[in-house]
Amino acid sequence: MAGLGGRMSTVIKAKINRMLDKAEDPSETLEYSYAKQMELLQNVKKGVADVVTAKKRLQLQQQKLEQQVVKLDTQARQALAAGREDLARTALERKQFAQTELQSLDQQVAELEAQQQQLIDKEQKLRSKLEQFRTKKEVIKAQYSAAEAQVKISEAATGVGEEMADVGLAMQRAIDKTEGMRARANAMDELEAAGAFDDNLSLTQGQDDIDRQLSQLTSSTAVDDDLEKLRRELGQGAGTTAPALEEGTPTQQPQEGQR
Amino acid sequence: MIVRIATEDQYRLPDEDAKRLNELDNQAVAAVDAGDEARFHAVFDEMLTLVRRDGHKLADDELEESDVILPPPDLSFDEARHEFTGDGLIPD
């Protein structure tokens, strides 16, 4: 149906009606509705569980990214303190990227939360409509002639059926969305496992380059410190190490050592 | 007139709104047909706003068939397009 002539609402209504699968006999409709309802409610429960799982997974990724942001921030500080502005810039660029990713994750988590709430609401509404239907049916039977009652019950059944079809549709959409996000989460996990996630974040080369360069800086400082310590322990050149700590006049140190 | 916003709620609207709703519906389809995504979203949003503003939600004890069913509010342009080219939102 190339609906160019049709209306959006007409197409949707036709489809919903097709999902309804109306039964002829109202009492059968009720039985049918009941079986269908149980099945649907089970599905909705499972759907909600799926949404929660997907949400937890995204939240885990959020945590990882948050750690990444903290780490990159620390790296940037370290690099800048070591006078490596270029490294600091790279780290900050990556931090920016990670933050953008985080925002998109926030949005997805919020979307899943809305989806979860919607399903719970829909389930509640369907339960209550079905309850109403059961009560109403008896009232109608008592108030109207058999023929009239049949029509009225049938109408009410249609209303309930439409609600069921709508819950079914809400379920379907929740599943589709969750699957889309799950696929994305899977892809992110795989990338991360393959070490490509960090590359992705880095925008330039491998993630470890900042680490490597920073650790080179730190380790050369650490080696210097260790050397000093050793010298001190060995009582070697008391003047060589001590000044920085004891005399607080490092400028004198090389002079003393030279003497 | 009873209008359902799919995946959301049913609303009771004054019959006068039917004309406006139909106009907008035609515009939405035209926008899809023209591939105009921004226009489609604008028109669809207007439809939703109209229903939510003028309509009263049906109570849980009202078991009514809808006269009009609007697509889910989060309908994407892509979905709308598919909707009118055969395999849509709800598989046949």
Tens of pLDDT, residue by residue over A77-94, are 988 888 888 888 988 988
Q: Which band of pLDDT confidence, cut at 50, 70 and 90, is reported for residue A30?
A: low
Instruction: Give the residue from A1, A8, A137, A173 with the most B CB atoms within 10 Å of its CB, the best one to mutate.
Output: A8
Higher pLDDT, A56 or B83: A56
Prediction ipTM score: 0.84
Best mean pLDDT range from A102-116, A190-204, A224-238: A102-116
What is residue A33's predicted lDDT score, i.e. its pLDDT? 63
Contact B65 A166 (CB under 8 A): no
Dist. CA A155–CA A22, nearest whole Å:
11
Percent residues over pLDDT 90 in chain A: 2
Check residue B70 and give left, alpha or beta (phi > 0: left; psi -120 to 50: alpha).
beta
CB contacts of B63 in chain A (<8 Å) are: 129, 132-133, 136, 155-160, 163
The mean pLDDT of chain A is 76
More confident residue, B28 or A186: B28
CA distance A188 to A202: 15
Q: How far apart are the first and last CA of chain A?
A: 98
CA distance A38 to chain B (A): 19
Q: Do A133 and B63 touch (CB under 8 A)?
A: yes
According to the model, what pLDDT value does residue A223 have? Answer: 73
Q: Quick one: DSSP state of residue B4?
A: E
Q: Is B70 within 8 Å of chain A by CB?
A: yes
Question: Do B63 and A156 meet the contact criterion of CB atoms below 8 Å apart?
Answer: yes
- pLDDT band for position A2 (50/70/90)? very low
Residue B58, pLDDT score: 93
Among A156-160, A163-167, A227-231, B35-39, which range has the highest average pLDDT? B35-39
Residue of higher predicted confidence among A200 and A129: A129
- Partner-chain residue, chosen from B6, B60, B68, that has the shortest CB–CB distance to A169: B6
Residue A25, pLDDT score: 53
Instruction: Provide the pLDDT for residue A178.
Output: 84
Token code pair at residue A137: 């049916």
Higher pLDDT, A156 or A19: A156
Q: Is B46 on the interface with A (CB under 8 A)?
A: no
Q: Do A2 and B26 touch (CB under 8 A)?
A: no
Beta-carbon separation of B84 and A6 below 8 A: yes
Question: pLDDT band at A70, cuts 50/70/90?
Answer: very high
pLDDT of residue B85: 55
A162·B61 Cβ contact <8 A: no
Cβ of residue B35 closer than 8 Å to a chain A Cβ:
no
Instruction: Choose among B6, B26, B62: nearest Cβ to A166.
Output: B6
Task: Give the pLDDT confidence score for residue B73 in this predicted structure.
Answer: 92
For residue A129, the chain B residue with the least C-alpha distance is B60
- What CA–CA distance (Å, rounded) separates A119 from A125? 10
pLDDT digits (tens, 9 = 90+) for A237-251: 554 444 444 444 455
Is residue B68 classed exposed, middle or buried when 0-12, 13-18 and 19+ CB atoms within 10 A define those classes?
buried
Q: Between A229 and A202, whose confidence is greater?
A: A229
Give the minimum alpha-carbon distance from A221 to chain B in angstroms, rounded to a whole number: 57
**Inter-chain contacts counted by CB atoms under 8 A, chains A and B:** 101
Q: Specify whether the CB–CB gap between A130 and A37 falls below 8 A.
A: yes
Q: Is the pLDDT of residue A204 over 80?
A: no
C-alpha gyration radius of chain A: 34
In the predicted structure, residue A22 carries a pLDDT above the cut 60: no
Residues of B in contact with A176 (CB under 8 A): none
The residue ranking higher by pLDDT, A102 or A177, is A102
Q: What's the predicted TM-score (pTM) here? A: 0.68
B15–A contact, CB cutoff 8 A: no
- Which pLDDT band, with edges at 50, 70 and 90, does A191 fall under? low
Nearest to A11 among B7, B33, B83 (CB): B83
Q: Which residues of A89-101 are buried (b: 16+ CB within 10 A; e: fewer)?
A: ebbbbbbebbeeb
Q: Which of B7, B21, B64 sits opposite A159 (nearest CB)?
A: B64
What's the pLDDT tens digit per position in A84-135? 888 889 889 889 988 888 998 898 889 888 888 989 998 888 888 888 888 8
pLDDT, tens digit, 9 for 90 and up, residues A141-155: 888 888 888 888 888
Positions in chain B short of pLDDT 50 = 86-92
Q: Are A41 and B59 in contact (CB under 8 A)?
A: no
Contact residues, chain B, for A160 at CB < 8 Å:
63
Provide the pLDDT for residue B29: 86
* pLDDT at residue A27, as a whole number: 55
Residue of higher predicted confidence among A182 and A48: A48
